[in-house]
């Protein structure tokens, strides 16, 4: 299982969360990545944690003020990028362009989508993985794996019908039970934010989350 902790724009200390994630990953053997704000990628990567961008733009070097260039994210230490998160929704051409930019610089990619139909469309663009996240459950603490298990199983089925792409799920995930339920539904990972970024003790939250799959 792959655990991706998206820090969004939460007022947490990205380095403290990254150090906690690096420690828990080392202790348990579970693959954990942290996706901070773009400006924090390099200092998060310096902790040794696997670091992801929250987004990269469908641009090359050139006159693209305000964009997030894939090359810059990779040079800062990102190993992957999210795309089309429901809070950073993209047009189809921009998802495809962002994926090609990620490929250009060797970034792994996860394309986010709301439901199984969108997962099938996202999988057709050949990302490394897709993540189904029903927006209504995001930030609620009500885990998708418990609240709407069919959306996970149907997304796994929809992605499998398109090609060889990993399926993660997110929204409301915070505990080991939530992660175990996601795995039982066929997800190969989880995408979460508030359960760790807003936790008083991120390391304890991560330890609890990965406990069921710790080596």
Residue ranges that bind ligand G3H, judged by CB under 6 A = 6, 85, 133, 138-139, 170-173, 191-195
Name the residue nearer to ligand G3H (CB basis): 139 or 212: 139
Name the CA radius of gyration of the chain, rounded: 16
> Is residue 92 part of an annotated ligand binding site?
no
Block residue for tokens 């990993």 = 166
Is 150 an active-site residue? Answer: no
Catalytic, out of 50, 55, 85, 108: 85
> Is residue 6 part of an annotated ligand binding site?
yes
Name the residue nearer to ligand G3H (CB basis): 34 or 158: 34
Please state the closest distance from residue 6 (CB atom) to ligand G3H, in A. Answer: 3
Please state the closest distance from residue 174 (CB atom) to ligand G3H, in A. Answer: 7
SS (H, E, C) 74-126: HHHCCCEEEECCHHHCCCHHHHHHHHHHHHHHCCEEEEEECCHHHHHHHHCCC
Name the residue nearer to ligand G3H (CB basis): 59 or 183: 183
> Is residue 95 part of an annotated ligand binding site?
no
Please state the closest distance from residue 125 (CB atom) to ligand G3H, in A. Answer: 19
| Contact indicator for 78, 52 with CB cutoff of 8 Å | yes
> Is residue 90 part of an annotated ligand binding site?
no
Catalytic, out of 19, 50, 108, 133: 133
- Torsion, Cα 184 3 147 151, to 10 degrees, reads -70
Integer distance in angstroms from the first to the last C-alpha of the chain? 12
Tokens linked to 82: 């999210």
Block residue for tokens 């970034």 = 107
Is 85 an active-site residue? Answer: yes
CA–CA distance, 208 with 39 (Å, rounded to integer) = 29
Tokens linked to 49: 């944690």
Nearest residue to ligand G3H on Cβ basis: 194
What is the distance of C-alpha 135 from the center of its chain?
14
Name the residue nearer to ligand G3H (CB basis): 120 or 171: 171
> Is residue 194 part of an annotated ligand binding site?
yes
Please state the closest distance from residue 191 (CB atom) to ligand G3H, in A. Answer: 5
Which amino acids are annotated as binding site for substrate, given as ranges?
A: 6-8, 138, 172, 193-194
Annotated catalytic residues are: 85, 133
């Amino acid at each position: 299982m792959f655990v991706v902790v998206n820090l969004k724009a939460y007022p947490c200390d990205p380095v403290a969360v990254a150090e906690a994630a690096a420690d828990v990953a080392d202790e348990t053997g579970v693959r954990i990545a942290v996706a901070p704000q773009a400006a924090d990628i390099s200092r998060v990567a310096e902790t040794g944690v696997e670091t992801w961008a929250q987004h990269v733009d469908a641009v090359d070097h050139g006159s693209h003020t305000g964009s997030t260039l894939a090359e810059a994210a990779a040079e800062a230490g990102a190993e992957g990028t999210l795309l089309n998160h429901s809070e950073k929704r993209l047009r189809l051409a921009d998802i495809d362009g962002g994926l090609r930019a990620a490929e250009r610089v060797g970034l792994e990619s996860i394309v986010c989508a709301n439901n199984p139909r969108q997962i099938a469309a996202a999988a057709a663009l050949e990302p490394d993985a897709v993540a189904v996240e029903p927006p209504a459950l995001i930030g609620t603490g009500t885990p998708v794996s418990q609240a709407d298990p069919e959306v996970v199983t149907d997304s796994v089925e929809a992605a499998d019908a398109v090609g060889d792409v990993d399926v993660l799920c997110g929204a409301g995930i915070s505990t080991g039970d939530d992660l175990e339920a996601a795995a039982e539904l066929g997800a190969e990972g989880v995408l979460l934010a508030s359960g760790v970024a807003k936790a008083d003790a991120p390391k304890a939250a991560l330890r609890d989350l990965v406990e069921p799959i710790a080596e």
